[in-house]
Amino acid sequence: MEGGKDVRVESAPYSCSTCDGGEVPARNLTRRNRKVRSLSTSSASTSFEYRRTQSLHGPSPVTTFGPKACMLQNPHAVMHIQDPASQRLTWNKPPKSVLVIKKIRDASLLQPFKELCRFLTEVKSMIVYVEKKVLEDPAISGDENFAAVTKKFCTFREDLDDISNRVDFIICLGGDGTLLYASSLFQESVPPVMSFHLGSLGFLTPFKFENYQSQVNQIIEGNAAIVLRSRLKVRVLKENWEKKSRVDEKGIILTNGDIESSRKAMQYQVLNEVVVDRGPSSYLSNVDLFLDGHLITTVQGDGVIVSTPTGSTAYAVAAGASMIHPNVPAIMITPICPHSLSFRPIVVPAGVELKIMLSCDARNTAWVSFDGRKRQEICHGDSITITTSCFPVPSICFRDPVNDWFESLAQCLHWNVRKKQNYLSSEDEEF
């Protein structure tokens, strides 16, 4: 109360400077000259306290997906993360374009692919985007009865054509890999994804193709349940070490022994996990793991998995991690065959920043992959920075996020399947 007036102080909305491409301002770090408890045992590091100004819950995910889709706002929500059962999809404008992703080199998907594309182009009058290499299949390019449909397609090439602002929603035909591939095509806002189970496992693909027409119609009409699958924003910084050289008067190249470095940065959006492993070497991997600038441990083993809640049911669960619902804001750290009995998987808040670097005394290099792709070598001086992305994958649900997840656990992973214990009668109790 100031001057007889009620003054309300509102907290500033959280913004993700890393996702916006900016640096964290120096003023966000407040130093206080008093001893504090630190993760490090060094006395020099206990002189200052750094006050956290970044939310541990991670950046608020965007609620617009592609050019026309958005999340239906819940007026009763009091947190940025809505009740999973209340997350609904709606359209600002009727969708007009769709990206159809088909599993490559799978003959069993040819007929469903052709049926779906005919329905979308001829019945729904939609613009269909298809990857160019899909149409190179002789079973598609050589089908004269399907030629009239293929002429209406808009084609694109991965890593060459940008379709981020052209596609209203995505339909995947195949297994979980098709959803991972769809995620890799969009480095920022991802259109809603509808996945049909036509692959082997199908943990992330809840729809059956038998009723595809009514299900697609329901999505086009809007107001479908969705689950926001968080992604990891990964930045790989590589040090390219080269020896300096000069050319003498006779044109002979002379090396003076000096070394110069040039940095190369690459960025990825990861839906499942980042895997750092020892590669072809027979030695243990030896990598340092930092959390918000503090060295928390050194991983000595076959490697380490940094995964999203969606990725917790993939490689991480095979390595002994727990399974986390996609709506839980978290990052999982799971060692791969650690040479330590006490190194167990841990879950950290979604808002932290992780960094992985090769230890200075490591005997060999490490290798990293992102959702099983883009595999590359990590050498001394290279770093991998991992944070939660502002751009989740809006995955359309068959029923709702909770029921779909437990249905996948039961059907795909046979979670807690066991022969039932026999009933104990009163006569048996006497013995």
Task: List, in order of start, the domains of the chain with CATH numbers.
Answer: 86-221 (3.40.50.10330), 230-239+263-389 (2.60.200.30)
Tell me the two tokens of residue 324. Answer: 């986390």
- Amino acid 72: pLDDT: 82
Burial of residue 263 (CB within 10 Å: 0-12, 13-18, 19+) is exposed
Other CB atoms within 10 Å distance of the CB of residue 40: 11
- Amino acid 6: pLDDT: 41
In percent, the amount of the chain with pLDDT more than 90 equals 61
Other CB atoms within 10 Å distance of the CB of residue 62: 18
Judge whether residue 237 has pLDDT over 60.
yes
253-259-261 Cα angle (round to 5): 115
- Amino acid 252: pLDDT: 52
Q: Are 329 and 81 in contact (CB under 8 A)?
A: yes
| Three-state secondary-structure class, residue 55 | coil
| Mean pLDDT within 45-69 | 65
- Amino acid 105: pLDDT: 82
Q: In what order do the strands lie in the sheet containing 127-131?
A: 64-65, 69-72, 88-91, 224-229, 393-396, 193-197, 169-174, 97-102, 127-131, 154-156
Q: Which of left, alpha, beta for 374 (phi over 0: left; psi -120 to 50: alpha)?
A: left
Q: Are 75 and 86 in contact (CB under 8 A)?
A: no
Average pLDDT over all residues of the chain: 83
Residue, of 27 and 341, whose pLDDT is higher: 341
- Rounded to two decimals, the pTM is 0.78
Burial of residue 25 (CB within 10 Å: 0-12, 13-18, 19+) is exposed
| Three-state secondary-structure class, residue 240 | strand
Which parts of 222-278 fold into alpha helices (H)? none
Please state which of the ranges 76-80, 169-173, 384-388, 415-419 shows the lowest mean pLDDT: 76-80
CA distance 71 to 60: 13
